[in-house]
Amino acid sequence: MRDRGIVSPIGGEEDKLLEVSLRPQKLQDFTGQSRLKENLAIAIEAAKRRGEAMDHVLLYGPPGLGKTTLANIIASELGVGFEQTSGPILQKKLDLTGILTNIRARQVFFIDEIHRLLPDVEEILYAALEDYRIDILIGTGPGARTHSMPMPRFTAIGATTRQGLVSAPLRGRFGLVLRLNHYDLAELTAIVKRSANLLGVTIEAEG
């Protein structure tokens, strides 16, 4: 059974439920982005065959194109837990460390607005992404020492609208870097029709 957690402020419950009900749960139900979906499908299938965590994924592109939805779909397709947070929320190293210590094997950990991570918080993520390790600094001054804790292999998914602001060391730790493009008219029409059908709303063409 998959667990889903959101480490972020709580919004309107009704709006959340509506959004979730309209959100595709499978890649085949996600409209558009055909090349991106092909790459993800290959990576997902390979991870499932190996029985291991999928490579880390960085999704970038303009806002409102479905990066969060794709992160949810990846977790759904893999049949694993899903944890979500965002760069601006992680103000201290302990904010991120606390989440990482609770990550389970093969789980998807989604970080929205990853380009807004503070530098010292981002450094904690390096070892987690590359070596599946959490480094904790104990003490201060000359006597300070680093204690390393192993963690299970997991899949990190970062999302950003500003790929150029993602530091090179962080970007280099993502095995898949995928761009979302704007939808054309036919794709937008398909998205609207799908949502209307789920809501039981009839759309009539004009003109």
193 pLDDT band, cuts 50/70/90, is: confident
Tokens of 132: 């599946």
- pLDDT tens readout for residues 22-55: 788 899 999 999 999 999 999 999 999 999 999 9
1: pLDDT confidence band, cut at 50, 70 and 90?
Answer: very low
Cα–Cα distance, 57 to 156 (Å, whole number): 6
Per-residue pLDDT band for 9 (boundaries 50, 70, 90) equals: very low
CA 86 – CA 18 distance, rounded (Å): 21
Residue 203 has pLDDT above 90, yes or no: no
Rounded-to-integer distance, Cα 48 and Cα 53, Å:
8
Confidence of residue 20 (pLDDT cuts 50, 70, 90): low
Residues paired with residue 108 on neighbouring β-strands, in sequence order: 82, 155
pLDDT at 113: 98
Q: How confident is the model at residue 190 (pLDDT cuts 50, 70, 90)?
A: confident
CA atoms of 143 and 157, how far apart (whole Å): 36
User: What is the pLDDT confidence band of residue 2, given thresholds at 50, 70 and 90?
Assistant: low
**Which residues on neighbouring strands pair with residue 145, listed in sequence order?**
138
Per the prediction, the chain carries an average pLDDT of: 88
Buried b / exposed e over 118-137, threshold 16 CB at 10 Å, is: eeebbebbbbbbeebebbee
Please state which CATH class domain 4-199 belongs to: alpha beta
> CB of 157 within 8 A of CB of 68?
no
Cα–Cα distance measured from residue 18 to residue 21, given in angstroms and rounded to the nearest whole number: 5
Give the tens place of pLDDT for each residue, 107-158.
Answer: 999 999 999 999 999 999 999 999 999 988 776 767 677 788 999 999 999 9
Domain positions in the chain are 4-199
Sign of CA dihedral 52, 53, 56, 57: positive
Give the pLDDT confidence score for residue 207 in this predicted structure: 46
Identify whether the C-beta of residue 155 lies closer than 8 Å to the C-beta of residue 56: yes
| pLDDT value, residue 10 | 45
